[in-house]
Homo-oligomer: A and B are copies of this chain.
């Protein structure tokens, strides 16, 4: 089980300069923070420094509610940093969006029920009633918002209100077969994770397994990514593939794909929960 620890995570990116790493680690060390993980990466082509550091707060001398202010003042401004501070006592709150297929939903809920993740799942949203029985099995409220062209913006407004009410910090589209509007997406920038059932950018759009079969590819894949207003083109978090042969029908591709989809989606969700993803210029830095 994650999250019983009392820790902080900093995700940082800024123009690369000598000494950044030293300054950040000294900031933590000199105030008696015990660094648990530190990972850094410099994109030399663009001259950008990325860093993730996690440290224990029990002995840290800066009060928890002052860390951000001190870091801002002492370091972030000086190095022109974009950063986020996450404290382990603030649990992320995740909403699942689903349509009619259960495989990704079960995989998420099974991990949640097994307490694998430091997360709360206060609700599930769907455009169909089909998955309500699954939600009930796990005692999670299930809300149905049927979507038509006419009612879409109205329904999304209701969804957003519901998310706000439940304090949702990020959304997971577990094979949710509805395109979200730009307005909706802008409420959760790089905080909506989708699973696409192809190795993007191949076969973007609908019916990728049919397209893959038609093209006669020898591998199929799945892609988890943050949703942006550009359909199926947001920053990729994780991808995996499996080999197929001429013997595989479309139905068999769909079946094999399900196993990819659920694992690739859950891996992305886990990385997000653990604050290991930094989105930058439509790409992701995913720390290990």
Residues of A within 8 A of B (CB): 18-19, 21-22, 25-26, 29, 35-38, 40-45, 102-103, 106-107, 110-111, 113-114, 116, 134, 137-138, 199-203, 215-219, 221, 235-241, 243, 245-247, 249, 255, 259, 263, 266, 282-286, 288
Contact = CB atoms under 8 A, between A and B. Distances in A.
Contact of A247 (B25, B41, B203): B41
Contacts of A35: 18, 42
Contact of A110 (B19, B41, B107): B107
Contact of A216 (B203, B236, B249): B236
Contact of A246 (B41, B44, B221, B247): B41
A246 B21 contact: no
Contact of A25 (B22, B218, B282): B22
Nearest to A249: B45
Contacts of A243: 239, 243
A216 B284 contact: yes
A135 to B, nearest CB: 11
25 contacts: A18-B29, A19-B25, A19-B26, A19-B29, A22-B22, A41-B246, A44-B249, A102-B113, A103-B110, A107-B107, A107-B110, A110-B110, A113-B134, A137-B137, A202-B202, A216-B235, A216-B282, A216-B283, A217-B236, A217-B239, A218-B238, A218-B239, A245-B286, A245-B288, A247-B288
Contacts of A285: 246
A239 B36 CA distance: 28
Nearest to A26: B22
A36 to B, nearest CB: 7
Contacts of A236: 215-218
Which of A110, A283, A285 is the most central at the interface, judged by chain B CB atoms within 10 Å of its CB? Answer: A110
A72 B215 CA distance: 32
A198 B273 CA distance: 28
Contact of A219 (B110, B240, B245): B240
B246 A286 contact: yes
What 4 pairs across the A-B complex have the smallest Cβ distances?
A216-B283, A106-B110, A202-B202, A22-B22
A192 to B, nearest CB: 17
A21 to B, nearest CB: 6
Which of A19, A43, A137, A284 is the most central at the interface, judged by chain B CB atoms within 10 Å of its CB? Answer: A137
A259 B263 contact: yes
B21 A25 contact: yes
B102 A114 contact: yes
